[in-house]
Amino acid sequence: MHITPSLQAAQQLWQHWLAGTTLDTLPDSCRPHTRAAGYAIQACLPEASGRQVRGWKIAATSTAGQSHINVSGPLAGRILSGQMLEPGAKVPPQGNRMKVAETEMAFVFAHDLPARASAYELDEVMAAVASLHPSIEIPNSRFAEFTQAGEAQLLADNACAHQFILGPRAPEGWQELDLSTHPVRACVTHRDGSHWDRQGSGAAVLGDPRIALTWLVNELRVQGIGLQAGQFVTTGTCMVPLELAEGDTVEADFGVLGHIGMQFAG
């Protein structure tokens, strides 16, 4: 079987994901230098891992996030089967160098949005949505110096996708809310019982999570990829990522949209 450079790179990245190890850079023979090349490697991850695409994520939906990892704009990534954890789960800290949790709004699709030539409008995208869910993403990177890896390699690295918790379905009526101003609060409790809070809102997500969702749909569309019924999109963190130490517990309060929690422990 002929192994393309893209598949070779995906296999290397996946082996590091499994082992919890890092690399400095991909080899010259398969290192991407453009967004398209990075996405081509990412597209090989399901084959390299033997896993299925359960949903999609967006990284760097704020200018602060883009500046932190030195990219020019948002990045799309795949959430694969085996990366999903249940609400309240103990999230293994081993091999995680980012050590943050991100409170996010995720949308599950009721029906397909196939790839097409023309861009999707926000109203079309929202008409395809079945439900909204409070969620937590726990990102990570396979690159030792992920802030210096560059946009193309971070796309190959699945936009720093690592583990993800999809929360319970929000009650009906969320469609009438202004998600851009909807507040989100998180509390991090340490092993010794001390704690601290952080607040944010949907405005941190490209101005509105629905705008971010539409961006993702169109980012995939130009690659010839459609969204499928039952898949989800988590739209990016609603606040500055929550810094974690081993043993910390996270509780995120999305108000009327629901609650979700996790523990950063083996």
pLDDT in tens, 111-167: 999 999 999 999 999 999 999 999 999 999 999 999 999 999 999 999 999 999 999
CA distance 61 to 72: 11
pLDDT in tens, 53-74: 999 999 999 888 999 999 999 9
Tokens 């789960």 belong to 89
Residue 102 pLDDT: 98
Residue 1 pLDDT: 61
Beta-ladder partners of 104: 135, 237
- How many residues make up the chain in this entry? 266
The CA dihedral of 107, 169, 129, 112, to the nearest 10 degrees, is 80
Task: At 56, give phi and psi (nearest 5°).
Answer: -135, 155
So what's the architecture of 5-168+204-237 in CATH? Answer: Alpha-Beta Complex (3.90)
CA distance 134 to 168: 7
For the chain, domain boundaries:
5-168+204-237
15 vs 32, 73, 77, 159, 183, CA distance in Å?
Answer: 18, 27, 18, 16, 39
